Amino acid sequence: MTATIIDGKSLSQSIRDDIKKQIADRVARGLNPPGLATILVGDDPASQTYVRNKHRACDDVGIRNISHELPEDTSQEELDALIKKLNDDPEVTGILLQLPLPKHLDEESLLAAIKLTKDVDGFNPINIGRIALRGLAPVFVPCTPAGIMKMLKEYQAPIQGANAVVIGRSNIVGMPVSLLLTKENATVTICHSKTRDLTSITRNADILIAAIGKPEFVSADMVKPGAYVIDVGINSVDDPSRKSGYRLVGDVAFDEVAKVAGAITPVPGGVGPMTIAMLLKNTMRALELAEK
């Protein structure tokens, strides 16, 4: 069997085209475009790249960037004051606090300070709680989990009643995507570094989500034939054959798993572009909420 490639790049492009058109229509009618405030603290190169990519995507669709780049030693009080200012600024539609933060900062209280209707990353603990609770809906679904759900639905994965296995329990991906799959009536198992006999669990997965940050960790023998495999990893590995000296791989050994899976996301070109598309979509929704 050769798996269907879940093309996050083209799916994200159609979402971006749609948003670009909506913004152009607004501007043509004399209305303001949305504005996304990003806060980057310190000089972590990976975070700088992520934020730069988000800025480029905003520029491309016509969302205004309001960029705050702060030094590593920024205090909790300074950040708290900045978030409060952005909460009250009508030009700011959405607020994104890039994670991880330097160790001296209290991430939870800063995320909780972001106004729920501007929390386009969906990381405010109240928002995450609303995903977990039955009968409640989050104001915003966090971007990577939202992108994963969108891809599964677009490629007709049967979610209801499926055995879904999530490897990784991070606040950003593993935990919220597990909650979303549960909400859609999948039977979800969350695996992590202390899980015993991981392969016996993953081999039972109709939907397998790898979000652990270990290059090519998921091998073909861990995958049930025909499974939907979603690879959240972006790992840089040495590759002397490339001019750059490195290449990007996911958490899944793509070539071998693609021979077993029914559908699989590539890296790059799978989850990554969908995360950004969902951020743009959430920012548009924040504008609608602000105008209600």
Catalytic residue annotation: 54, 98, 121
- Quote the CA–CA distance of 182 and 162 in Å, as a whole number: 10
Contact 272, 248 (CB under 8 A): no
Which of these segments, 4-12, 26-34, 92-100, 187-195, binds ligand GUN (CB under 6 A)? 92-100
Q: How far is the CB of 75 from ligand GUN (least distance, A)?
A: 20
Q: How far is the CB of 193 from ligand GUN (least distance, A)?
A: 19
- Of 58 and 260, nearer to ligand GUN (C-beta) is 58
- Footprint on residues 214-273 left by ligand GUN (CB under 6 A): none
Which one of residues 8, 19, 33, 121 is an interface residue with ligand GUN (CB under 6 A)?
121
Which one of residues 12, 74, 93, 98 is an interface residue with ligand GUN (CB under 6 A)?
98
Contact 252, 233 (CB under 8 A): yes
Angle at the Cα of 243 from the Cα atoms of 246 and 214, rounded to 5 degrees = 10
- Quote the CA–CA distance of 55 and 37 in Å, as a whole number: 10
Report whether the peptide linkage leading into residue 268 is cis, meaning its omega lies within 30 degrees of zero: yes
- Quote the CA–CA distance of 156 and 33 in Å, as a whole number: 34
Judged by CB under 6 A, does residue 120 bind ligand GUN? no
- Footprint on residues 147-186 left by ligand GUN (CB under 6 A): 172
- Of 146 and 201, nearer to ligand GUN (C-beta) is 146
- Quote the CA–CA distance of 113 and 87 in Å, as a whole number: 9
Residue 151's nearest CA partner among 48, 1, 10 is 10
Q: By Cβ distance, which residue is nearest to ligand GUN? A: 99
- Of 95 and 165, nearer to ligand GUN (C-beta) is 95
- Of 86 and 227, nearer to ligand GUN (C-beta) is 86
- DSSP state, 206? S
In a 13 Å sphere around the CA of 229, the CA atoms on its Cβ side amount to: 39
- Footprint on residues 131-150 left by ligand GUN (CB under 6 A): 143-144
Q: Footprint of ligand GUN on this chain (CB under 6 A)? A: 96-99, 121, 143-144, 172, 275
